[in-house]
Structure 1
């Protein structure tokens, strides 16, 4: 009798499609499919709306403070068709070092909008209050600026901090600290804020009185760090103004000279330029001990010192930087 009962229940299940034990399960399965499709459609629409963003009035680069647009690369380590923003995510073409701005930019209009966002200058009392709130090491609104300098994705992080705070504390370390003026100018130019406090390697970036997080510019994020292109050699076999034998003698003299100073990895280099300039008043060749700093950072330091001092890097060996002050006649004519 139990077998007939089971068989009878199965037949009723086949005949009655609205059988209570099975109707709920079938309905839930049917309602799940449209929900997934709706989510996928919304996500697709969001991606499509993100692909046409090129509102920022400057060329997109991985690093703004550590690259010189005037220096053209001689080669690339990866195909230029691979954009770090991802395929089709921005309406700009990646050239291997940047994504140039396509639309014409009205600089006067951009400057006027930034002045309106900043509003009236802060009073001394307001500035002192913000500085006291954000300048301490235990501040939760802090960003670290490392060897990459002012990077593109850092702009997105700055705006995210500005959603909940009027200012953000930026701690700078490594090679960018050789030229803090350059870091401050790029931060203000690319973010639209204003540096209201600067102490050695600590900056305080203010968002402005009229800043609205809802109308903030959209910053497309780089999905990966692009490989650095290939640039011309920094050190020549024969320095300009010297013969081969004189260049060799200068290099040996620099290697045997005591180091002017020892640089640490990801340290603070704000005083290096002034010390090298002062040393060149009495010395012809200067050696910097960069043990454990890294070969790539040594070359970046040499490039910055070449332009800031100015001087001529003549040797990078065993993480030692040898700098030559150049001909006195050229220095006098340049000054």
Structure 2
């Protein structure tokens, strides 16, 4: 029996900690790496800044004349010495709170929970002079908004003439334009501002093509693009925008936009659909849901489509119908809820059911049939 056990040990290699007390090479390597990790400072290697001076490629050694090995530690270089406090933390004078998405989030709605600890800032550890709260990085210093408004007017300069606008539209209207940014379901994101300023270095305007949920409210997208970037929307055709940088724009004096290194997890918000709709009983709510599921859909939405006319179609449908169904097959459950939230505020109405990528909307008891006015009210 002892012979069998000794053979098995020999086949699987020596143990990490033998009885004799001699530490195996594998276990000693683990102890060395653990000691190095313990001695590290607060700067994490994945977040260290890249060297500013280019590194010369090393030539492979010849077989005859082999290069002598240096005693310097791996990664050390006399030409690329990086200070650990190199331009960090980043300070930005932008007057608004930094969020992942500006057009698709409502700062007035407070989350009820977080999917990750709020201390994990998406800008990286110690890389921004603002504290991350889980949803935003608010500006800690009081901002003079009148001063920034005047600076924006100075950068824009005199208004463009109709001939100049037509020339810019003709220059950037093609689909194969190299100065184009695609705006998806994330809406106007924080890193998108950096992309806009990078295009403005070499071009007077940038073409922005919008798709998905943000196209339900193009006015909101235009407002946040102008407010956060400082530019001006000079052309708007359905879902394609042209954002102008201004006559006196200087790339060297542009605002500092710190980049988000990853997308933060969305916090937990209150439920959108209640078991019993406001103003209805349980039986009436159940009847409305069944009525909506059995009705014909007002329109069918596609994935990453253009939803510019959805709000008007729903408003006109509520003039004759009490419950409306939208067919959102293949759109996705998350996008369905985003669409429901947008329609609740824009129509306005009450979403009462999300099932099998179908959206059931109820117009409410005090719905006014005059769709041209914005005074329609839902209780």
TM-score class normalised by the smaller sequence? 0.7 to 0.9
Kindly indicate whether the alpha-carbon contact (under 8 Å) linking 1:254 and 1:285 is maintained by their aligned counterparts in 2.
yes
Q: Which residue of 2 aligns with 1:282?
A: 320
Greater helix proportion? 1
- The alignment status of 1:36 with 2:51, answered yes or no, reads no
Instruction: Provide structure 1 residue ranges, at least 5 long, that are not aligned to the other structure.
Output: 1-24
Report the CA distance shift for 1:329/1:270 in structure 2 as closer, same or farther (over 3 A). closer
- Select the residue among 207, 211, 218 that pairs with 2:256: 218
Deviations 1:102-126 (A, max 9, x none): 1110001000000000010001111
Aligned to 2:332: 294
In the TM superposition, residue 328 of structure 1 has moved relative to its aligned partner by: 2.6
Q: 1:102 maps to which residue?
A: 140
Map 1:111-130 → 2, pairs under 5 A = 111-130=149-168
Shift of 1:192: 0.3
What does residue 249 of structure 1 align with? 287
CA distance in 1, matches of 2:165, 2:184: 26
> How many Å separate the matches in 2 of 1:31 and 1:144?
47
- Distance in 1 separating the partners of 2:87 and 2:303: 42
**Does the CA-based 8 Å contact 1:77-1:230 persist in structure 2?**
yes
| Rounded Cα–Cα distance in structure 2 between residues aligned with 1:220 and 1:141 | 22
Structure of greater relative contact order (alpha carbons < 8 Å, 6+ residues apart): 1
Q: Is the 8 A contact 1:293 1:319 kept in 2?
A: yes
Tell whether 2:313 aligns with 1:272. Answer: no
Q: Is the 8 A contact 2:348 2:376 kept in 1?
A: no
Segment drifting more, 51-60 vs 283-292? 51-60
Corresponding position of 2:231: 193
Q: State the shift of 1:30 in Å.
A: 9.1
Partners of 1:211 and 1:153 in 2: CA distance:
20
CA contact (8 A) 2:122 2:262 kept: yes
Instruction: Report 1:230-249 matches (<5 A).
Output: 230-249=268-287
Q: CA–CA distance in 1 between the matches of 2:196 and 2:248?
A: 16
Residue matched to 1:174: 212
- Structure 1 residue ranges, 4+ long, deviating more than 6 angstroms after superposition: 30-35, 329-333
- Residue 62 of structure 2 is matched in structure 1 by none
Listed one character per residue, the Cα deviations across residues 277-304 of structure 1 (whole Å, up to 9, x for unaligned) are 0000010000000000000000000000
Could you tell me how far 1:51 is from its partner in structure 2?
A: 1.2
- Indicate yes or no: 2:96 matched with 1:55: no
The CA RMSD over aligned residues, in Å, is 2.1
Deviations 1:198-240 (A, max 9, x none): 0000000000001011111111000000000000000000000
- Is 2:204 the counterpart of 1:163? no
Count of aligned positions: 308
Partner of 2:366: 328
Partner of 2:115: 77
Preserved CA contact (<8 Å) 1:54 1:101: no
Separation in 1 of the partners of 2:174 and 2:323? Answer: 40
Q: Residue 32 and residue 74 in structure 1: after superposition, are their counterparts in 2 closer, same or farther (change >3 A)?
A: closer
Contact 1:54 1:92 in 2 (8 A): no
Conservation of the 8 A alpha-carbon contact between 2:92 and 2:255: no
Does structure 2 retain, via aligned residues, the 8 Å contact 1:147–1:174?
A: yes
TM-score by length of 1: 0.88
Q: Is the 8 A contact 2:90 2:258 kept in 1?
A: no
SS of corresponding position for 1:262: coil
Task: Give the Å deviation of 1:33.
Answer: 9.7
Q: What corresponds to 2:177 in structure 1?
A: 139
- Return closer, same or farther for 1:132/1:50 CA change in 2, 3 Å cut-off: farther
1:40 deviation in Å? 3.0
Give ranges in structure 2 of 5+ residues lacking alignment: 1-66
